[in-house]
Structure 1
Amino acid sequence: GATLRIDSDRNRTRLRAVAPAASADSMIALIGELLARPRLEAAFEAERERLALRSARAADDAAMQVRSLFERTLYGENHPFGRPPTAESVRALTLEDVRAFHARHYPPTRIVFAVSGATERPRVERVLAEAFSATGGASAPSSGTSTSLPKPREVKGRRVATRDLDTRQGHVMLGHLGIQGQPKDHAALELMHHILAGGGFISRMMELLRTQTGITSALYSEVEPGRGTPNPYLWRFSGNPETLARGVRLALEEIRKMRDEGVTAEEFEAARTAYLDGLIPASYDTPHKTAERLAQKHLFGLYDYQSPQYLNYYAGDAAELEAIRRLTHQDVNRAARKYLRPDDLVITVVGPLEQIRAAATPAERALLGAR
């Protein structure tokens, strides 16, 4: 049988389909029909209500609330990233709003198809041309498609935002503005990030907060390049309320230590080997992975950022492999000093605040904005 999955985020909508070779033309035609002439009215009211209910439930979801609070504090309410959807804002949408959004953001020139397997390019082009014939044809998109967004303000000093929520665990998210696009020293940033928090169980912060202290079962970090505006460079974890404030203090200390002292020669070599021999080659280990990555690069000018399980990394192509080979230990330490700002960031905490603060030292309570 065939499968079709659709997911979306702030930057894209992605359709993934698998079909027997004998049904390939039918599947490609179906996808073309969905994109070119969707029957929005058929599911509009039910889908709008489903999303409204999901937005309402998010008010009691600590993991979702800590991210919403973090982004609102970091970007401000005048920035799209600082305005999460509410049940009211979703229910205010009309069918015409959605039709206009589709017409503006889903023309053929903003769509890339990645096809692999038992089919041929002329067949794919013919089927897609028929599906998009009413919209003027499926010309190729320009590389680096993006939407311009307001420039967020830089954080000076620490901003603390909290929300009291009756949950068994407390949730923390801390960070500052990260990068937009791919800076020239991106390879050095990637290796530093891998050593600090992006490398999963072998990273410093996971080792400290999970293995050594047991404060959390998992720590996640993100430094994905933004499109149209900087994404945050953030760290997040959850845990027992009685030890959460200590976790915030230790996380900040580890970030500062990386900025001030850098990485060791052994850490540098291990991280470089992880990218050269593992993370980048594994991103091309199937034909469809390769096709999908090339489509992503063509559409946005960047490959897809990857976050399997506890890892968080950017796997580029031969150019990135060469940039990593040229890196020195000092390059990575310069990236740490450039990109880490432990004294200028946002700290957000959601959970049973009285419990969290009661177990904290005076210094830790100060980090959480309490006396």
Structure 2
Amino acid sequence: MSINLFVICRVWQPLVVALGLLLSMQAQAALNIQHWQTSNGAAVYFVENHDLPIIDISTNFAAGSARDDEKSGLAGITRYLMTLGAAGLTDQQISNGIADVGAILGGELDADRAALKLRTLSSAREQQAALDIYTSILHKPDFPAATLTREKARIIAGLKEAATQPASIANKAFMKALYGNHPYAVEEEGVPEAVGALQRDDLQKFYQQYYGAKNAVIALMGDMTPEQAKAIAERISSGLPDSPAAGALPAVSYPQAPVERRIAHPASQSHILLGYPGVKRGDDDYFALYVGNYILGGGGFVSRLTEEVREKRGLVYSVYSYFMPLQELGPFQVGLQTKRDQAEDALKLVRETLRKFISKGVTEAELKAAKQNIIGGFPLRIDSNSKILDYLSVIGFYKLPLNYLDEFNGKVEAVTATQIQDAFSRRINPDNMVTVVVGGSQ
């Protein structure tokens, strides 16, 4: 479950509108990323920008769903309940306090990371009030028992509803088939039985183990000087648990034989997913695979899969492919939706298209067009403070080079057709892919 819940009330509208004005300034200039460690070991990544009177903060921990062990859903519920009661404040008091100063409180969770975010005005009163609440959440979460009971019931109801939806069924079955016993197979949302069994003590222990300063990456962006940023980072890190950094996740194994799962469902459409372990963050093959995948299925209507399977044959409503790099090998996935009676034809054609792509590679015309589209769209990746903040978090958490964004377009431009074919042929084995089909009868 990618938790992305925001408390948004009375946000100063002119600030939101003004974010668009940053495009020409931020997208054109190289980002000066400053990096240091706090006195108790938290890593800090900071970009100074005074164009708007706002600051953005994201505190990231190696506390994603891959750390759940046998308690599926624990990471997500821990992160979420931190925002629903802290230092004696109720969830309503937290919400009202954030709203009163026009701030935004948010968070995210994936397999690797849990993050808590804050956007606030940089003026002293509003900033101080927002930081008071934000640091209370980070330092003194209460995990109220009554709130936990309430939220468990809500989450379980959502999980039971999701268990009837073909897209959700396909995604969960795909990750389980692809990763087996690896922690990446753990369902981010949890499963009803495991969620129902979670106790307040479980959340407290998870917090103490994974929310320590040595396990934290603090990303800061906006209207503050380096001295102010250092003070804020120290304030955030100083109250975190004194626990060791999380250990490395186990390596991902490649499938030794093809895996296919077919799941009956009464829906009129079949949902089909194919995949294979892909790449890690910072992988040497990343840019060749990224540009190649744009041509294969990541470029929307200009991709090979869309052209062959949708436009020429009309076999699917949608088809795509992507790589999701993680700390260990994240998934390479091809997905499509089609009428039940066309599912076999569509699946066969997708497999043929993928095999041809891997064996024959890309044309120079396709490569040129892909580079132009990727590079031309790059300014939109960093056209707001919040987008830059997300990149800072990724750069810091995965220890990417500080000039990662500055060199992005150059890395894309340097990719050759030979590199794409070589990377795909080495990294993706079409004979041993995982396939999940949801729809139709058994």
Structure 2 residue matching 1:282: 3-state secondary structure: helix
Aligned partners of 1:29 and 1:9: how far apart in 2? 26
- 1:44 to 1:242, Cα distance in 2 relative to 1, 3 A: same
Q: 1:233-254, CA deviations, whole angstroms, 9 ceiling, x for partnerless residues?
A: 1111222111121111111011
- Are residue 18 (structure 1) and residue 116 (structure 2) matched? no
- Are residue 222 (structure 1) and residue 327 (structure 2) matched? no
What's the Cα RMSD here?
A: 2.7
Query: Which residue of 1 is the match for residue 133 of structure 2?
Result: 30
Aligned partners of 1:131 and 1:178: how far apart in 2? 35
Q: Where do 1:1-371 residues align within 5 Å? A: 1-22=102-123, 23-41=126-144, 43-76=147-180, 78-84=181-187, 85-127=190-232, 129-130=234-235, 133-135=238-240, 147-227=247-327, 229-279=328-378, 281-302=379-400, 316-353=404-441
- 1:102 to 1:321, Cα distance in 2 relative to 1, 3 A: same
Aligned partners of 2:157 and 2:421: how far apart in 1? 46
State the number of aligned residues: 335
The CA deviation at 1:288 is 4.1
- Contact preservation (8 Å) 1:25, 1:124: no
Aligned partners of 1:131 and 1:82: how far apart in 2? 32
The CA deviation at 1:58 is 2.7
Aligned partners of 1:132 and 1:338: how far apart in 2? 42
Query: Sequence identity, in percent?
Result: 25
- 1:132 to 1:29, Cα distance in 2 relative to 1, 3 A: farther
Query: Which residue of 2 is the match for residue 362 of structure 1?
Result: none
Aligned partners of 1:116 and 1:132: how far apart in 2? 17
Query: Which residue of 1 is the match for residue 5 of structure 2?
Result: none
Aligned partners of 2:253 and 2:218: how far apart in 1? 36
Q: 1:118-147, CA deviations, whole angstroms, 9 ceiling, x for partnerless residues?
A: 34444454455456544479x9x9xxx875
TM-score, normalization by structure 2: 0.69
- 1:214 to 1:288, Cα distance in 2 relative to 1, 3 A: same
Amino acid at match of 2:348: R
Aligned partners of 1:131 and 1:179: how far apart in 2? 32
Structure 2 residue matching 1:40: 3-state secondary structure: coil
- 1:132 to 1:162, Cα distance in 2 relative to 1, 3 A: same
Q: 1:150-177, CA deviations, whole angstroms, 9 ceiling, x for partnerless residues?
A: 3343223322111111222211111111
7-16 or 315-324, larger mean C-alpha shift = 315-324
- Contact preservation (8 Å) 1:205, 1:219: yes
The CA deviation at 1:56 is 2.4
The CA deviation at 1:204 is 0.9
Structure 1 residue matching 2:335: 3-state secondary structure: strand
Ranges in structure 2 where 5+ consecutive residues have no aligned partner:
1-101
Structure 1 residue matching 2:297: 3-state secondary structure: helix
